[in-house]
Structure 1
């Protein structure tokens, strides 16, 4: 098995929305805001090469939305999936599986693109199977009013139309579930959105956890630092607490999807609770 960090493109989000009830004077210590109150956000995906399988975890926003749509999110930098795949000698047509932690637009928008004459949509990874789970799929395709703006039907429904949509099963009350034959385990969490999946990957003697929106940035480690986007913040609290305790105890390496300035972090126990220990680049840990 080999792993590769894939940069799908950076953007910005409102710092107040990202930190919920936490005062700006506190969250700007770790996540400085610009004059529009926006903070830097990454869309950092992960590619797993395992035998003849190339599994991509999340895909970023993609590029099919309108200029007006993107104007809300202030894209910055020149990273994209194609450039990042090419860096490692791959093409999007080589991808065999796309695993989606959840179906918010900034995690799955890159799965689907316009067709050649822009009359409809087609898979952006033409040879890939798409992986979600049934509960989250139902949640996303019949969205509540709170999340409707994040579950865009043009990102989601064309995946089902391919006939290559597959669902991961949650293994009862077990803390981790096997992601079928994808070669890693997943933790199901419900605070941010229903049945978000957090991949746990054993790699080179270490446990690498793809954090998705359970821990958006290193600045979100203190327990009350919960996003305003979370649908069940009082559920996020115990989910995050349990995970952080385990991660600190077992020295997990946390792969940060949205932290534009910290690629991988570790945690430590302190008198104030679990806190940020060290930050690393991917290559510092695994090359």
Structure 2
């Protein structure tokens, strides 16, 4: 098995929204803000090369939305999903599986593109199976008013219409292994219903793709929960349980949204679980 980091682009989000009830005087110590109160956010996807299988985890925002849409998120840098794949020696047609931790636009937008004539929406990965789960799919396609702006139908419905959508087995517990993919999955519900957190065994390490359970290294203290989370108190408990396990078992945490800290480990301290080490991708993979 070989793992590749795939940079699907960088953008900015409001720091206050990213840290919920935590005062700016605290969160700015780890996540500096610009004059508009915006902080750097990444879309660091992950590609698993295992035999003849190429599994991409999450796809970033994509590029099909309007200029007005992107103006809200201040894209920066020149990385794109397709460019990053090509730099690793792969074409979108090579991808066999696309695993979506959840269907918010900054995780699923890269799944779908406009046709050349701009009249229809097509899968970017025409040979891939797209993986979600039944409960989250229902949640996303019949969205509540609070999350409606994050679940964009143009990112989601064409996946099903293409016939390429499949669901992982409905979990019977919080953690579920699946024979259909090359990793186990932790299901969490605080950020959005049935978000999936992959646990990948790589060499002698457990690499955990954190998605929005832990957006950045600055979110390690338990109360540092995003204002976007639908059930923040549930996130609090899910983070507590996971981070204690991560410290006990020395998990390597792949931070999808931290633009500057790709992979971290954590440890127990008198103040709770805190940052232990930060790694460059090449140091771990």
What's the TM-score bracket when you normalise by the shorter of the two chains?
over 0.9
Measured in 2, the distance between the counterparts of 1:285 and 1:189 equals: 26
Partner of 1:281: 280
Question: Deviations along 1:112-147, whole A, 9 cap, x unmatched?
Answer: 000110011000111111000000000000000000
- Secondary structure of residue in 1 paired with 2:33: coil
- Secondary structure of residue in 2 paired with 1:3: strand
Partner of 1:214: 213
- Secondary structure of residue in 1 paired with 2:169: coil
Question: Deviations along 1:185-236, whole A, 9 cap, x unmatched?
Answer: 0000000000000000000110000000000000000000000000000100
Partner of 1:229: 228
**Alignment length, in residue pairs?**
285
Cα deviation for residue 40 of structure 1 reads 0.0
Partner of 1:15: 15
Contact 1:170/1:188 (8 A) holds in 2 = no
Measured in 2, the distance between the counterparts of 1:81 and 1:139 equals: 26
Partner of 1:133: 133
Q: What is the TM-score of this pair, normalised by structure 2?
A: 0.99
Contact 1:226/1:233 (8 A) holds in 2 = yes
Aligned ranges for residues 26-105 of structure 1 at < 5 Å? 26-105=26-105
Measured in 1, the distance between the counterparts of 2:55 and 2:248 equals: 29
Measured in 2, the distance between the counterparts of 1:285 and 1:121 equals: 37
- Secondary structure of residue in 1 paired with 2:9: coil
Cα deviation for residue 179 of structure 1 reads 3.1
Cα deviation for residue 275 of structure 1 reads 0.2
Cα deviation for residue 74 of structure 1 reads 0.1
Contact 1:255/1:265 (8 A) holds in 2 = yes
5+ residue gaps, structure 1, are none
Runs of 4+ that moved beyond 3 A: none
Measured in 2, the distance between the counterparts of 1:31 and 1:245 equals: 23
Aligned ranges for residues 108-257 of structure 1 at < 5 Å? 108-173=108-173, 175-257=174-256
Measured in 2, the distance between the counterparts of 1:122 and 1:285 equals: 35
Question: Deviations along 1:5-25, whole A, 9 cap, x unmatched?
Answer: 000000000000000000000
